[in-house]
A = this chain, B = another copy of it.
Amino acid sequence: MAKREREKNIIKPAKVRWEGGNLLYPLPALMVSCGNDDLGYNIITVSWAGTICSNPPMCSISVRPERYSHDIIKETKEFAINLSNEQLAFATDWCGVRSGRDFDKFKEMGLTPMKAGKIDAPLIKESPVNLECVVKQIVELGSHNMFISEIVAVNVDNELINPKSDTLELFKARLINYTHGFYYKQGAMIGRFGFSVRKK
C-alpha cells in the first residue's frame, strides 16, 4: 500500500482516511500442504486465513484461482494447515513466492511429508502444529476464492505439551506472524484471556 492514492480527507486531529484496503493485522503465516499420492504434493503459503467457528472447529483459507494449489484443493477437497515458526520462516517465504508448477517444494526446502490421520494430503513434519482440514464450501470473492473448511484432526509436537500439567504450551513453538509485508517473531506475553476482570 506504499504511496497509495489518498483521499484528500485528513481527519482531525490525527488520522488519514484511504479507500478500502487490506490492513487487518497481524495475521498468521501458514504453510498449506495439499495433494495426494496420485496428484503429487504441494505447499502454498497463505496469510489470508483464519478461524471462523468454534463448534464445529472451522477455518478458512483464501487462494487465488491461478495458484497451482487452488485446483488441487478444489479437486481433493482437503488440505493441511501447518503453523510456521522461526525455524521455518525461510521455507514459509519461499513457498509463498515460488510455484509448485516449477518446483517440488518439499524437496527444495528439505521438508518431510508426513501421513495425516484423516485426510490424504500430507502434513509437514517439521511444523509444530498441523491441522487436517476438509473443505465444506467454496466462496468466490474476486481475486481469491475462500475455502470454508472443517478441522477434522490436529497434530501437535510432543515437545509442546507440558508433561506435568498435560497442557499445550503453544508459546514454545515460537510462531511467527505476517504484518503488512513483513514476518515477525512472537513477542512478550501480555496476559491471559480474561486478565482484565480476574481477581488478584
Contacts and interface: CB of A to CB of B under 8 A. Distances in A.
State the majority secondary structure of interface residues on A: strand
Nearest to A50: B50
A191 interface: yes
A59 B24 contact: yes
A27 B51 contact: yes
Interface string A18-34: 11111111111010000
**Copies of this chain:** 2
Interface string A109-128: 00000100100000001000
Contacts of A171: 179, 182, 184
Contacts of A190: 86, 89, 176, 182-185
Given A24-B28, A156-B15, A177 B185 contact: no
A153 B20 CA distance: 4
Contact of A155 (B16, B187, B192, B194): B16
A18 B156 contact: yes
A44 B176 CA distance: 26
14 contacts: A1-B168, A15-B155, A17-B117, A20-B153, A25-B83, A26-B28, A27-B51, A48-B51, A52-B141, A56-B142, A94-B196, A97-B197, A177-B186, A181-B193
